[in-house]
Structure 1
Amino acid sequence: MKQPRLAAPRIDELRLVDLVEGDEAELSASQALEGRRFTGLDLSERDLTGLRLTECELRGVVAHDARLRGSVIRETLIERLEAPVLHAPRAELRDVEISGSRLGSVEFIDNRWQSVRFVGCKLGFVNLRGSELRDLRFTDCDIEELDLGNARAERVAFDGCELRALAVTGATLRDVDLRGLDFTAMSTLDGIAGLRGATLDHMQVALLAPSLASHLGIRIAD
């Protein structure tokens, strides 16, 4: 039987023109900003709940322990973001690129993402539980732990990435391409049944064989 074609993420190229230099004071809770460029800011421990950014650019920003609950970020480039801890539950990202960034423990619970790209990032614990993800791509990223528990993910891909722990308990996956992930360093996989709808290569399936056998109640013995 012919296998259905795997759909790739649909990610549009960002085109940011005529940006105005923004002032740090403009970045506050519930503020709506458009067409701004921010460089070299320290937003650590700031309450940015409900912040709305459209067609913006942020470069060299530190945001340790910043609070972005319910924030909306659209058509925005984020480069060299440093955030050992970041709180952004119930946020929305659309047409966003995050590159060259280092994020530690990131709370993205119940997020809504569409057309989002991570490039050359080092990511710690990325908590996307209960989120809706469409058209998401990770390129050349090092990820410690990715939690997709109870998330709905469609058209997601990884290119040249390493992942050490994955949780997919209760996840609903469609056109999720895991072939660009290096599984050799993976130490933990929770909820293997949640991988239904994902695409893996032969080597990855071989590495997961013991977990698959345990899930199916198969005993392996020579």
Structure 2
Amino acid sequence: MPPARSATRPPRIGALRLGTLADGDTGLLRPGADLEGLRYDALDVAGLSLAGARLDGVHLTGLAADETDLSGARLMEVRLERVVLPVVRAERGQWRDVEVVGRLGSVEAWEARWRSVHLVGCKIDYLNLRGAELLDVELTDCVVGELDASQATLQRVRLRETRVERLDVRGARLTDLDLRHAGLGDIDGLLDLRGATLRPEQLLDLAPLLAAELGLRIEP
């Protein structure tokens, strides 16, 4: 049997290479669009639909939209900065080298594929990653009301200075999920945390929940 690794592997997230961007035409923001090398500033709309679109080398800053549809969209080298997006549909999307900074409400990203994705300073009410595949993903300085990662595959994922009020990992497959610098509230699927890394004091906090999950009686 090969020896166990002594350290948790961090996510591998490179710096975005956006280069020189042209001002984007808002008329191009439509389902199935093919957007490359564009910048959009201070865009405030009731709805934004980019379902099935391809975004490559795109910077959207100051974006506010009541509803945003990114379902099935492919995002590569994309920065979403200072966004306010109460409702986001991003199911079955493919995100690679993406950075998001801002306020999100409900994010439906089930069965999505994320690679090299960084959420920074985000406030998210509900993040649905059920059945998703995450590789090299980090949440930094975020507050998440509920994170549903049930049936998902997470590899080299780190929550740093991030608070999650409710975490669901039932049926998840975890490899190098780093929770050492995360604040955790309720957890569904404690017995499926295999592959996660915790600090010793976090394990002590979880001991009563683990005992209840295992049906253990703790008596003096």
Partner of 1:113: 114
Whether 1:63 aligns to 2:65 is: yes
> Match of 2:27, SS?
helix
> How far apart are the structure 1 equivalents of 2:48 and 2:104?
16
1:97 to 92, 99, 109: 99
Alignment of 1:7-156 (within 5 A): 7-99=9-101, 101-156=102-157
Is contact 2:74-2:93 (8 Å) kept?
A: yes
Could you tell me which runs of 5 or more consecutive residues in structure 1 were left unpaired when the two chains were aligned.
Answer: none
> How far apart are the structure 2 equivalents of 1:107 and 1:63?
15
The offset of 1:84, in angstroms, is: 1.1
Partner of 2:204: 206
Structure 1 pair 163–35 and aligned structure 2 pair: CA distance change class (3 A):
same
Is contact 1:63-1:86 (8 Å) kept?
A: no
Moved more, 60-69 or 101-110: 60-69
Could you tell me which runs of 5 or more consecutive residues in structure 2 were left unpaired when the two chains were aligned.
Answer: none
- Backbone CA RMSD of aligned residues: 1.3
More strand by share: 2
**Which residue identity does 1:102 align to in structure 2?**
R
> How far apart are the structure 2 equivalents of 1:41 and 1:2?
50
Is contact 2:108-2:129 (8 Å) kept?
A: yes
The offset of 1:43, in angstroms, is: 4.0
TM-score by length of 1: 0.94
Q: Identity, % of aligned pairs? A: 43
**Which residue identity does 2:146 align to in structure 1?**
E
Is contact 1:43-1:66 (8 Å) kept?
A: no
> Match of 1:65, SS?
strand
